[in-house]
Homo-oligomer: A and B are copies of this chain.
Amino acid sequence: MPRPEQRVRKGEQTRAAIIDAALDQAARHGLEGLTIGSLAERMRMSKSGVFAHFGSREDLQIAVLKEYERRFAEDVLAASLDAPRGLPRLSAMLGRWIEKSTREAENGCLWISGAAEYDDRPGAVREELVAMIRSWKDALSRAIRLAIETGELRADTDVSEMIFDIYGVILVLHHDSRLLASPSAGERARLAIARAIDSRRGEPRPAASTTDSLATDRSAA
């Protein structure tokens, strides 16, 4: 008979496997396309077996969003924290975001497809989605402010305006690469981000180096 902690571990593994399958299904058919029935079928489990891990479809949808956020934070944010604060780190984050968006073009970004699904559908899933996007925008704000502090971006840089510009680039990258199957969307996005940075470039203080930032941008792209 398994000891209690083994049972807990097994339960966590099953839950993680269900979320993994659900993430894949949501990427293909949207969070609203996620059903406990089709998930149970795919996992070769009973519906009540899936329900044992998630109280409701809404709980499952939120768990999927949280896992998406965890991976996004790991791939885009955490991986960029090695880069020096200021423009190198901001460029690394933006480069990895474009890289992830390009890689995801086949399935689509859950936050962007979720935006279209939930923008007129109030409820817990929408609230979770909005909170995640706000939190990511906050992380971008911090990175932009650090680049203003180093002097690499001009002191009068409007942070919200810059985020608006950057978000537009990611959204049109997603739109053009998915709906229009445009092969040049990734490269266009990289150039557009470079222009969004260049138009706000300041005179860096001696400690910082703008050539470094370009190198980081390239390696991340």
Contact = CB atoms under 8 A, between A and B. Distances in A.
Interface of A: 28, 107-108, 112-113, 115-120, 126, 129-130, 133-134, 160-161, 164-165, 167-169, 171-172, 175-176, 178-180, 184-185, 188, 191-192, 195, 199
Contact of A176 (B107, B164, B192): B164
B171 A175 contact: yes
A187 to B, nearest CB: 10
B179 A133 contact: yes
B116 A180 contact: no
A120 B180 contact: no
B179 A129 contact: yes
B165 A192 contact: yes
Contact of A117 (B112, B116, B172, B191): B116
Contact of A178 (B119, B178, B180): B119
Given A119-B178, A180-B130, A172 B161 contact: no
Nearest to A27: B120
The SS class assigned to the A binding surface is: helix
The oligomer's copy count stands at 2
A28 B171 contact: no
A120 B28 contact: yes
A115 B180 CA distance: 9
Contact of A116 (B113, B130, B161): B113
Contact of A119 (B165, B179, B191): B179
A179 B118 contact: yes
A184 B164 CA distance: 11
A180 B107 CA distance: 23
Across the A-B interface, the 6 shortest Cβ-Cβ residue pairs: A168-B168, A116-B116, A168-B172, A119-B178, A171-B171, A119-B179
A185 B184 CA distance: 27
Contacts of A126: 179
26 contacts: A108-B116, A108-B120, A112-B116, A113-B116, A115-B175, A115-B178, A115-B179, A119-B175, A119-B178, A119-B179, A120-B178, A126-B179, A129-B179, A130-B179, A133-B179, A134-B180, A160-B188, A161-B188, A161-B192, A164-B172, A164-B188, A164-B192, A165-B192, A167-B175, A168-B172, A195-B199
